[in-house]
């Protein structure tokens, strides 16, 4: 039996913050108490101790695999560097969000999902990963070959979460064609004539493939117990479709109505933590803070900046005083764990995994000083 006691900590529990100690035994939280530790202990210096974060939607690995346009880095090195940054950000469980978008017409949109999933698996088997990794397939339902590629990955890699994306210009994330054009013009520098062709192609692909592909992916996920997420829901019809499909998570709803409808139906609403930190959406859609104010925000995801979870957890109670620090922390730990069906983690509570973060709130903001997963120091 191995036991370590951590004392002099401000423990962020489910509903309150207490000053006390934490006992870890064999990788699990054994005891939590107020006041001085019962026996010899490591001093946490009065810092906060938070549950390890559970991240459901991050594409941050892509920045390590493609550090410059047209440069593909060594995949194993990219994955381990990404994992190190994830762990140092306080994330102890991460769903690597891999794009499945095999479509000749959407140049540059297909990620390297098979390569990345296999590399994460190999790195995990080699024992070099700090966080626990799961596969989240981001499936673009308008892409011709999406079902086949997703099915192959389900078979070879195991998949825990599937999101159903549709980035057709004129709906969801790009409610107007103009939004789509301005986003891609900035991103790719394409001419208006090139964009005309792409818009027409995408609309054609949507008409042909979106409905049947979505139906097949939903059926496959249900058959294998894979959690489903909807993506960029904008209208009442989108929400009704998500309810009918048994969706558990609404990722990045783009309107107040879609967020309210999803939350009311028991679908957990996920928004980007950068959206909280920056005070709005980078694509000009709904602000996560306004959802938090109305009590319909359930989960924050780091999206493209791993460190944004910690920043947002401390920032949100300042921006929305009705939300306490424990409630904000639950949005990056307990709530995503529950949405993904992970019942063994996400809170500081006896019997759960000893996944926790030591956070200093001194200086300009919160900083993760140390991180443990199943009782082992990983950062
Ligand atoms: Fe999107």
Confirm whether 86 is domain-assigned. Answer: yes
CA distance 71 to 64: 10
The verdict on residue 110 lying in a domain is: yes
**pLDDT (0 to 100) of residue 106:** 60
What range does the domain containing 169 cover? Answer: 52-346
pLDDT band at 171 (very low <50, low <70, confident <90, very high): confident
Task: Using the mean position of ligand 1's atoms as its centre, give its distance from the Cα of residue 101 in Å.
Answer: 12
- In the reported structure, the alpha carbon of residue 259 is separated from the centroid of ligand 1 by a whole-number distance in angstroms of 15
Go through 154-173 and write b for each residue having 16 or more CB atoms within 10 A of its CB, e for each that does not. beebebbbbbbbbbbbebbb
Quote the ligand 1 centre to 367 CA distance (angstroms).
Answer: 29
Task: State the distance from the centre of ligand 1 to the C-alpha of 219, rounded, in angstroms.
Answer: 22
Q: Tell me the whole-structure pTM to 2 decimals.
A: 0.95
In the reported structure, the alpha carbon of residue 183 is separated from the centroid of ligand 1 by a whole-number distance in angstroms of 12
- The C-alpha angle 226, 162, 300, rounded to 5 degrees, equals 105
Measure 36 CA to ligand 1 centroid, in angstroms. Answer: 48
Residue 43 lies in a domain: no
**Ligand 1 mean position to 37 CA, how many Å?**
47
> In angstroms, what is the span from residue 143 Cα to ligand 1's centroid?
14
Query: Residue 210: inside a domain, yes or no?
Result: yes
Question: Tens digits of per-residue pLDDT, 61-100?
Answer: 999 999 998 899 999 999 999 999 999 999 999 999 999 9
| CA-closest candidate to residue 81, choices 67, 95, 97 | 67
Please tell me the distance between residue 106's alpha carbon and the centre of ligand 1 in angstroms. 14
Q: Can you give the CATH number for the domain in which 119 is found?
A: 3.20.20.140
Q: Are 250 and 242 in contact (CB under 8 A)?
A: yes
In a domain, 171, yes or no: yes
Tell me which of 102 and 85 has the higher pLDDT.
85
pLDDT at 1 over 90: no
The total number of structural domains that make up the chain: 1
How many A from CA of 168 to the centre of ligand 1?
10
Q: Does residue 109 sit within a domain?
A: yes
**Tens of pLDDT along 14-46?**
999 999 999 999 999 999 999 989 899 999 999
Half-sphere exposure (Cβ direction) of 99: Cα atoms closer than 13 Å: 17
First-residue to last-residue Cα distance in the chain: 23
Buried (b) or exposed (e) across 67-96, using 16+ Cβ within 10 A?
eeeeeeeebeebbbbbbbbbbbbbbbbbbb
């Amino acid at each position: 039996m191995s036991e370590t006691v951590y004392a002099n900590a401000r423990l962020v529990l489910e509903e309150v913050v207490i000053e006390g100690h934490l006992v870890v035994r064999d990788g699990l939280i054994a005891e939590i108490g107020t006041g001085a530790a019962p026996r010899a202990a490591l001093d946490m210096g009065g810092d906060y101790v938070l549950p390890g974060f559970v991240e459901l939607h991050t594409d941050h690995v892509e920045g390590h695999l493609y550090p410059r346009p047209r440069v593909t880095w060594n995949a194993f090195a990219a994955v381990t560097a990404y994992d190190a940054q994830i762990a140092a950000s306080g994330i102890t469980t991460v769903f690597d969000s891999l794009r499945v978008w095999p479509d000749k017409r959407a140049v540059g949109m297909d990620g390297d999902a098979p390569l990345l999933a296999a590399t994460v698996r190999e790195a995990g088997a080699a024992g070099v990963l700090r966080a626990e990794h799961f596969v989240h397939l981001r499936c673009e339902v308008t892409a011709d070959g999406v079902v086949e590629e997703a099915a192959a990955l389900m078979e070879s890699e195991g998949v825990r979460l599937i999101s159903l994306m549709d980035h057709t210009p004129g709906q969801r994330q790009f409610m107007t064609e103009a939004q789509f054009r301005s986003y891609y013009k900035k991103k790719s520098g394409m001419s208006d004539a090139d964009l005309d062709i792409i818009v027409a192609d995408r609309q054609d692909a949507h008409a042909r493939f979106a409905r049947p592909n979505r139906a097949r992916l939903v059926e496959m996920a249900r058959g294998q117990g894979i959690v489903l997420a909807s993506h960029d829901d904008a209208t009442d019809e989108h929400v009704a479709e998500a309810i009918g499909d048994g969706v558990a998570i609404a990722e990045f709803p783009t309107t107040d109505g879609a967020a309210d409808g999803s939350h009311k139906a028991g679908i957990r609403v996920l928004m980007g933590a950068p959206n909280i930190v920056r005070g709005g959406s980078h694509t000009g859609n709904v602000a996560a803070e306004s959802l938090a104010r109305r009590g319909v925000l359930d989960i924050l995801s780091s999206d493209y900046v791993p460190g944004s979870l910690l920043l947002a957890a401390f920032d949100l109670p300042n921006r929305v005083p009705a939300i306490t620090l424990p409630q904000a922390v639950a949005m990056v730990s307990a709530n995503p764990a529950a949405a993904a069906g992970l019942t063994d983690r996400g809170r500081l509570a006896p019997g759960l995994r000893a996944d926790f973060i030591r956070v200093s709130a001194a200086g300009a903001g919160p900083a993760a000083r140390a991180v443990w997963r199943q009782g082992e120091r990983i950062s």
